[in-house]
Structure 1
Amino acid sequence: MTTWEPSAPALSVRQVLALERVLAGEPEVVAAAGRLDRPVRWVHVAEAADVGVMLSGGEMVLTTGVLLAGDEDRQAEYVRSLHRAEASAVVLGLGRAFPSPPEAMRRAAERCGLPLVVLHRPSPFAQLTEEVQSRLVRRKFAAVSLSEAVRTGLTALITTGAPLQRLLDEVARHSGCPVVVTNLAHRVLGTAGERPAVDDVLRDWERIARQAGRGEGDGWIRAELGGRGEPWGRIVLCGYRGDTATGRLLADRAAEALVLHRMLGGGAARTWEEQSAQSLMTDLIGGVVPARALLPRARAAGLPVNRRTFVPLVVRGRDAARLDRVLRLLGLPGIAAELAGSAAAVLLSLARDQDPDALTLHFAARLRAEPGAAPAVVAAAGARTAFDDVPAGLREARHVADAVADSAAALDLPPVVRLRDVHLRGLIRLLRDDPQVQSFAERELDGLLGEPDEDLLSVLRTYLATGRNKSRTAQLHHVSRPALYRRLEAIRTRLGVDLDDFEQAASVHIALLAHDAQQH
């Protein structure tokens, strides 16, 4: 007899009763009608009164009851023994032994919750068994084939260094339903599947996460992710429409691949949490996807979004992982993500009664107070009360951070830099791609551009940024005053300008701002 494996593909009692050969016997469920979704792993024909000892679980037992007729105690014990053996159901063919459903068996089956089905018309048990067994074999073969196809596909992706998203897309392709990966706190780390279906899942993620945590049902199938006995996340198939056992097999194969992917570094230095935050923040800043459409992802990523005040920030001089640690240390709800150009974005989500300016200043002060760290530039946009306005705020904060990036050390910047603090730099940054501005910058700086000695350009940048303060410039470049004078003289000679003349110095300053803006 085949050993019962809970993960083996099975038919439900309800599905077996819907088969054409079974319907020909006019089946009637007379007990435990609410338990028809129990899996049938095998069909067993048996007349022995002690058949229960021969079962291993999951069988649908077919009998005429010929050895039970006339003894109600044996009839009840027969049902109880099947229940103890974890049989799926018992099908009794009515006829000479039992012309009508036996009451003793019906009562016992109802108490045990074991479906009792009677067949009102003669039905060849051999043909019925053959039909069910062949279907089960085909389902098992299909499940094994699917399992191997998934394993092969995911392994190939891992060996080529594919990112997490590629693996999840492959799982979603095979499962035909949304796929979600979370950490133990139910924070979503990745999703795949048809976008509208995924958004529907994320929109109600808190309820779904609780349901997935309690167990499986209605197609919600999960598999734990972890290593060395320590779980760190789970993968959930949301609304899988196929056979539950096949879905479990698919989820298990996916989990194995994801654990291996993470162990090997996932093709990237960033953690899955960091990649998830970066994807969300990139989409917000890009503006291609409407902010409202990104709300489910933001909520599922752990960002509070209902009746909140949002503060968009861009920080230079700290990576996203460190910013995330500071957020947790200060108890500030928010997410941090890396951006291109050595910057990181932070989106704070504050309660409406909190002071956004004060908390932003507190966050910036904490960054500046970190021992041994390079100075951090914190650029902020004005607080937003509507999530739809967040993308514009993030772009404004990035614009401010970019405008002061080249001369941050020389400028006397406030702890939190805002649009009003960047003045001319902000305007030049906006106009940097204009051909006439580019031509102006090259013409004004022609004597210094392309020179192997970049020190003169750096000295000029600092000198102009400090308001032509020679002492401050010498200090920042760690040179003596006479050495600085020689450099300034070389600059005057090469550019052919008088830096003591305000208009000429202003012209060179604007050209240098334009040149620096074009380099980033």
Structure 2
Amino acid sequence: MTLRLGDVLADPDLSLRLADGDPAALNQPVRWCAVTELADPRPFLSGGELVLTTGLSQLDEAAQRQFVSRVAERRAVGLGFGVGLTHDRIPAATLAEARDRRLPVLEIPYSTPFIAVDRFVADRVLEEQYGRFADLLDEHDTLAKALLSGQGLGALIGSLHQILGAPCMVVDVYGRVLATAPASAAWPVEQILYAARAGTSGDTPLAVPVSVEDTVVAYLCCRRPRRSADVLPYAVSLVGLELARRQAELAGKRRLAGQVLEDLVRGTIGGA
């Protein structure tokens, strides 16, 4: 489950308090923590951080406002201000600028070290990532089993449809639909192929090229996946594997048919 700013605020061991901010903003996801006492932390922020500071470099109103402005500019999700060190309470200018910038401010008491907040966020973020990796492995296993079931692309695309929560299809470069799920799904095949070849998307469904021996032979298409979109690269590999198997099987049949005709011509075998 995604870590939200409200989750950090709600943890009883941290004893944080919402000093200022719209409660709706607490639903923002926290990507990481950034501890800084720099007057300008912008070069070290990439967005989504909960920025922690004691205001060491913010000794006047101008500096306080400027710091908040710079943090908000880098799309931080919140500002955690430690009191009891440089400042006994959060400066009024900090709160005013944060209010103007719609940046939630959390008060961190002297008894809560920054490392406790940092560790809480890191543990939850890593836990979320580990859970997603585990889910992804399960999804890979589901797709592989579907392909190995002997039911071919139909079973694979059916499983992918269930994982993504969206209709899926495989269409070859000639416009033939090789598999689709659900069966009732309608696809603008010509528009999809045109957009895929032109390298554009527009309003057409997502179309990922499937290659066999460095040649695009088909496209895996899906409509706005509602979840687990990161399983798509693996699904594309499995589709390519199945199409390569089909090509090899067809080539083998053609070689066998050619050998039979050659033997007939040479009289090695009889007509019967």
Q: Same fold (TM over 0.5)?
A: yes
1:182–1:145 distance in 2 versus 1, CA, 3 Å: closer
Q: State the shift of 1:32 in Å.
A: 4.3
Deviations 1:224-252 (A, max 9, x none): 34327x88542533xxxxxxxxx4xx222
Question: Quick check: 1:28–1:119 contact (8 Å CA) kept in 2?
Answer: no
Q: What does residue range 302-313 of structure 1 map to in structure 2 within 5 Å?
A: none
Choose from 154, 162, 165 the match for 2:143.
154
Choose from 90, 93, 108 the match for 1:104.
93
In 2, the alpha carbon distance for the partners of 1:32 and 1:180 equals 34
Q: State the shift of 1:48 in Å.
A: 2.1
CA RMSD in angstroms comes to 3.6
Structure 2 counterpart of 1:179: 165
SS at match of 2:13: helix
Matched, 1:226 2:208: yes
Which structure is larger by alpha-carbon Rg, 1 or 2?
A: 1
Structure 2 counterpart of 1:72: 61
Structure 2 counterpart of 1:28: 18
1:164–1:231 distance in 2 versus 1, CA, 3 Å: closer
Structure 2 counterpart of 1:486: none
**Unaligned stretches of 5+ residues in structure 2:** 170-179, 186-204, 210-215, 247-272
Q: State the shift of 1:45 in Å.
A: 1.9
In 1, the alpha carbon distance for the partners of 2:207 and 2:238 equals 10
Q: Structure 1 length as normaliser, TM-score?
A: 0.35
Q: What does residue range 401-412 of structure 1 map to in structure 2 within 5 Å?
A: none
Question: Quick check: 1:91–1:118 contact (8 Å CA) kept in 2?
Answer: yes
Tell which has more relative contact order, 1 or 2 (C-alpha 8 A, sep 6+).
2
Structure 2 counterpart of 1:119: 108
Task: Letter of the 2:99 partner, please give it.
Answer: E
Deviations 1:395-419 (A, max 9, x none): xxxxxxxxxxxxxxxxxxxxxxxxx
1:167–1:232 distance in 2 versus 1, CA, 3 Å: closer
Instruction: Say how many residue pairs are matched.
Output: 207
In 2, the alpha carbon distance for the partners of 1:190 and 1:55 equals 43
Deviations 1:203-261 (A, max 9, x none): xxxxxxxxxxxxxxxxxxxx934327x88542533xxxxxxxxx4xx222047516853
Task: Letter of the 1:132 partner, please give it.
Answer: V
1:141–1:233 distance in 2 versus 1, CA, 3 Å: closer
Question: Quick check: 2:161–2:167 contact (8 Å CA) kept in 1?
Answer: no
SS at match of 2:117: helix
Deviations 1:84-119 (A, max 9, x none): 323221111222533343232223223333222223
Structure 1 counterpart of 2:32: 42
Matched, 1:58 2:48: yes
1:110–1:171 distance in 2 versus 1, CA, 3 Å: farther
1:61–1:163 distance in 2 versus 1, CA, 3 Å: same
Deviations 1:164-204 (A, max 9, x none): 455544764xx6xx822168xxxxx5359xxxxxxxxx9xx
Structure 1 counterpart of 2:264: none
In 2, the alpha carbon distance for the partners of 1:115 and 1:190 equals 44
Q: What does residue range 499-510 of structure 1 map to in structure 2 within 5 Å?
A: none
Q: State the shift of 1:77 in Å.
A: 1.3
Task: Letter of the 1:58 partner, please give it.
Answer: G
Q: Structure 2 length as normaliser, TM-score?
A: 0.61
Question: Quick check: 1:56–1:86 contact (8 Å CA) kept in 2?
Answer: yes
In 1, the alpha carbon distance for the partners of 2:230 and 2:154 equals 16
